[in-house]
Chain A
Amino acid sequence: MPIQYRSEVVSSRRAGQYHVLTLTAGSIPETTKPGHFLGVAIGGDESGLLLRRAFSIHGVQERGVFGGTVDIVVAAHGPGTRWLVGRHRADPLDIIGPLGRPFSLPRDPVSCALVGGGYGSAPLFMLAEHLRARGCRVDMVLGASTEEKLFGVLEAKRMASTVTITTDDGTLGETGRVTDALGKVMDDHDTDVVYACGPMPMLAAVADMASDRGVYSQCAVEESMACGVGVCMTCVLPVIGDDGVTRMVRSCVEGPVFRGDRVRWSDVGTIPPDTLGAPAVEGGTR
């Protein structure tokens, strides 16, 4: 169950183009699993920016000098995230976590490929630890447009059996996209499960590659959210249920992690006509 916690910034440090924030988190780390996310309120009690920002949890520490803490990775690309990276040690923050449905872990020690795009790789390191603890093989593929936008290359090298880096401009690793490199990784290591987190087009491509090979995939989506707790109905996307019916489901509570073969990737941003309750006529607010 998520907890709303009056947090304090423990530290904020740069990592390439990103900032890693460590926040006090009370008992949140005790129930956090890889793939869970944190909802962070922006700008204090009188802020004009009302909507919480969602960040996948990069790491947790259950007990330290500051009690439980969580790490998140922030890219300053808008007014909310710019405010957030401007916080200093001991500044207060209102956080809620752990939120969402985490990655499910295999029961058996299988071979796993973890794919991250940009700072979407943030939750994959905690995931890698859990998988390794279960005896799973972990191969990582990290990609970004350019070297500065990669996140966690050194961490990946410490944790994974192999690490493949791709950049669109060739500033580090192979020139190209993660999907250009993923096929070989899957073939070389007989991948059983693919885990992915990053931009939607990347997830769509990774999920399709996995499906084509009959490999199970889990993707953590990035949909814009207003509340993060399941009440606003903003962050929906078309997902096929166990009954074969497509519904518009909330990525904050039914996700952010979905089975790659269940999300209708090419229909994201639309209401596919066969969705439950799809409109005959448009209408109504809320």
Chain B
Amino acid sequence: MTRAVVRPAEALRPQTHDEVDMSTSLAGLDLPSPILTASGCAAAGKELDQFFDITEIGAVVTKSIMPEPRSGRATPRMAETPSGMLNSIGLQGPGIASFLERDLAWLRQRGARAVVSIAGDTVDDYARLAKTLRMHEGISAIEVNISCPNVEDRGKVFACDAGSSSAVIQAVRRNTDSRVPILAKLSPDVTDITTIALACVRAGADGLSVINTLLGMVIDTDRLRPALAGVTGGLSGPAIRPVAVRCVWQIRQALPDVPILGMGGVRTGLDALQFLLAGANAVSVGTMVFNDPSAPLRVHRELQTALAERGFTRLVDVISYAHGYLDRDQQTLDPIDEDIDAVAEEQ
């Protein structure tokens, strides 16, 4: 059984994939590729550079960095789940000083674009991190991981509260060079993600990263206890993709102009295409890197082919394209599949 591939009526024939212009723009940042890594799934790029050329993708989004070194949580930190995994790493990292000296320096020397993810326990932690980053070159954007417990609010996660999210974003924006875009990374574990999205944009976020992991839990039925030492963990992987696409779609509906970096279970070029069609300006490949360390560049290539097959010559033309589906239903569609053309003629 074949399905008709619908392409814009103006395109006369499928393009070959190298004719598709893959460049995009994210919050004023020009990227040669719409595919980025995702925070916490690529360390600081060096390990993945063994498997593909990290300068070929849009950017490396580094693992969230905190002011001081952090050991993270006890093990087990991970549980495999259907089409996904649960993690409870606890933001293990070397602290900002070591990050700048080693990781950022390496990314600069390598010529890779770096989106630096930051995380804190308090609003002031985020402000301090932004101040420190301000003194360094080679940062394409800052992603603010607000899915952390706010120790000043009884451990309530910043991203689950519009006021706390807003306070963090304001603090980062105030301490960041206006030429460096900041992205707020949103949690899907909220009643209405567009409310938090709007609060972050009003507080000065130049774009939104959508989505972080969903809070989940697995119980070990042999040991009769939680599978993770941290009890609960973040669920990621293809299992959460429909949730992520829905979040991108809702935010694009609510905020037609906000730049969005979409992510959640992207495995193939067609998965990335779903996010773009839903309204993402660029797409991160996260957990699938654990399965296939060359996934980001593979997804880029598959996406390029998929766009060509659908008659797009520029990636930017597909962004939010699905939102126009009702209008386009009024117009004549132009199916590629000739069998379906033939069937249509017979009727």
Contacts and interface: CB of A to CB of B under 8 A. Distances in A.
Nearest to B121: A283
A107 interface: no
A26 to B, nearest CB: 14
Given A50-B84, A234-B89, A284-B90, A224 B78 contact: yes
A83 B20 CA distance: 39
A282 B87 contact: no
Nearest to B79: A224
A236 B77 contact: yes
A230 B75 contact: no
A96 to B, nearest CB: 7
A50 B218 CA distance: 16
A83 to B, nearest CB: 13
B85 A50 contact: yes
B39 interface: yes
Interface string B68-83: 1111111111101011
A112 interface: no
B70 A279 contact: yes
Contacts of B213: 285-286
Contacts of A224: 75-76, 78
A17 interface: no
B71 A279 contact: yes
A25 interface: no
Interface residues on B, range: 35 or more
Contacts of B43: 230-231, 233
A284 B77 contact: no
A107 B95 CA distance: 38
A277 interface: yes
B119 interface: yes
B233 A285 contact: yes
Contact of B41 (A49, A51, A231): A231
Nearest to A225: B78
Interface in A219-237: 223-224, 226-227, 229-237
B113 to A, nearest CB: 18
Contacts of A248: 71-72, 92
B50 A286 contact: no
Nearest to B291: A50
A4 B291 contact: no
Contacts of B82: 48
- Residues of A in contact with B, size category: 35 or more
Interface string A26-64: 000000000000000100000111111000000000000
Contact of B89 (A2, A4, A286): A286
A278 interface: yes
A30 B293 CA distance: 21
Contacts of A2: 50-51
A124 to B, nearest CB: 25
Interface string B185-218: 0000000000000000000000000001101000
A4 to B, nearest CB: 6
Interface stretch (A127-135, A168-176, A182-190, A268-276): A268-276
For B39, B212, B287, the residue with the greatest tally of chain A CB atoms inside 10 Å of its CB is: B287
Given A226-B290, A232-B41, A285-B212, 20 more contacts: A4-B294, A50-B85, A50-B290, A51-B290, A51-B291, A224-B75, A231-B43, A231-B47, A231-B290, A233-B89, A237-B75, A248-B72, A253-B47, A282-B230, A284-B90, A284-B147, A284-B149, A285-B148, A286-B87, A286-B213
26 contacts: A41-B291, A47-B291, A50-B80, A50-B85, A50-B291, A223-B75, A226-B290, A231-B41, A232-B89, A233-B92, A234-B75, A235-B75, A236-B77, A270-B74, A271-B72, A271-B73, A277-B69, A282-B149, A283-B90, A283-B148, A283-B151, A283-B155, A284-B64, A285-B233, A286-B89, A286-B91
Interface of A: 1-2, 4, 41, 47-52, 94, 96, 223-224, 226-227, 229-237, 247-248, 253, 268-271, 275-279, 281-286
Interface of B: 39-43, 47-48, 50-51, 63-64, 68-78, 80, 82-85, 87-93, 95, 119, 121, 145, 147-149, 151, 155, 212-213, 215, 229-230, 233-234, 237-238, 287-294
